[in-house]
Amino acid sequence: MADGNSSDEDFSDDWLLYSRRPEWSDLQPLPQDDGDNPVVMIQYSERFNDVFGYLRAVISRQEKSERALELTKDAAKLNAANYTVWQYRRDILKALNADLYEELSYIGQVIVDNPKNYQVWHHRHVIVEWLDDPSSELSLTESILDMDAKNYHAWQHRQWVIKNYNLFDDELHYVDRLISEDMRNNSAWNERFFVLKHVGFTPEVLEREVNYVITRVGLIKNNESPWNFLRGLLQQGTGKLAQFPSVVEFCEALYNDGIRSPYLLAFLVDLYEEQYFDLIESGGNEAEAELYHQKVQDLCESMANQHDKIRSKYWRYIAENFRRKSSERATAGSGRNGV
């Protein structure tokens, strides 16, 4: 079944319209009311009109029965993205005190068929909450992520389960496998940061993770995901990009080796700007500060003219903004010295 789309393909050849079923003869289907002058008439299939006509009739009289539960299954086959179908199905499950593990199995298969459909994941979420049993969720999300390692809904559900039921223990091992398989998988890097945030960014964790990420950057230099992860790490601790000398040495070594990844250059722009202002504020060596000042200008120009030309106006803005801030700092410093 296509994600969230109306489809008649999932029905067997001997499937019978509800209007022809004797056990439904007591109920009159309710047609869809599009008003007197609909702007666009959707040409629904006969099966779609039949199923949803009976669903509207069932909801209208608030029937909560086994046959109504089966009806919602057919409605979900035709449109798995229909919120009302799933909400009313949950109402029926409660009223019948139905077997929720059976429902968990059912919705698991629906998710396999509709892995990028919000409503089916939300239904799963609710059933897990009702059962208070997350034991199948990591394996389910893992199987979905094996199909598409960047499925947002699967990651969202996985993070909710892990956080709500404190299932962090083995997650770094799982994420490490995903990163090893595809170092450009931004979702896996995001999950790693999510787990570390729970663990806590202690000095030991930061040092370990900095070493971890620069090793991965060294393997694929032009890979945005680990560069973003590195920046996220360095916002912890002192918040300084230069807080780990190994990072500074690593980045400058890449540059000196002729690497011109735009992610490396952008990192160096921010690093040298930080070092420039730190020297100015501490009254450090003026010649060294001027060297950093020139490096920022040269890197911005390089980005604008060669390595990130599509954002040339942005890099010229960054250079101009840096010159303005450095000039203001210099003026403020002169004022203080003259007092």
* pLDDT reported for residue 120: 98
- Establish if 231 belongs to a structural domain: no
- Containing domain of residue 45, as a range? 12-98
Rounded CA-CA distance 63/57 in Å is: 9
The span from the CA of 45 to the CA of 154, in Å, is: 31
The 8-class DSSP code of residue 309 comes to G
Q: Which of 44, 71, 98 is the last residue of a domain?
A: 98
Domain boundary among 71, 98, 125: 98
Closest CA to 120 of 130, 134, 109, 131: 109
- Among the listed residues 64, 116, 150, 221, the single catalytic one is 116
Final residue in a domain of this structure, among 75, 98, 121: 98
> Is residue 219 domain-resident?
no
Q: Which two tokens stand for residue 260?
A: 């011109």
- CB-based contacts of 259, cutoff 8 Å, min separation 6: 221
The answer to whether residue 191 is domain-embedded is no
CA 158 – CA 134 distance, rounded (Å): 10
Check residue 88 and give its pLDDT: 98
Structural domain includes residue 325:
yes
Reported pTM: 0.88
DSSP-derived secondary structure letter, 303: I
At 58 the three-state DSSP class reads helix
Residue numbers of the chain with a pLDDT score lower than 50: 1-2, 4, 338-339
Query: Is there a domain that residue 248 lies in?
Result: no
Active site residue 116: yes
Specify the number of domains making up the chain. 2
- Is 315 part of any domain? yes
pLDDT recorded at residue 336: 54
> Measured between alpha carbons, how far is 132 from 235 in angstroms, rounded to an integer?
36
Is 22 contained in some domain?
A: yes
Q: E strands within the chain?
A: none
Residue 43: Cβ within 10 Å count: 6
Q: Which pLDDT score is estimated for 4?
A: 47
The reply to whether 288 falls in a domain is yes
Exposed / middle / buried, residue 100 (Cβ in 10 Å: 0-12, 13-18, 19+): middle
The greatest distance separating any two alpha carbons of the chain, rounded to the nearest whole angstrom, comes to: 98
CA dihedral 250, 251, 252, 258 (to 10 degrees): 110
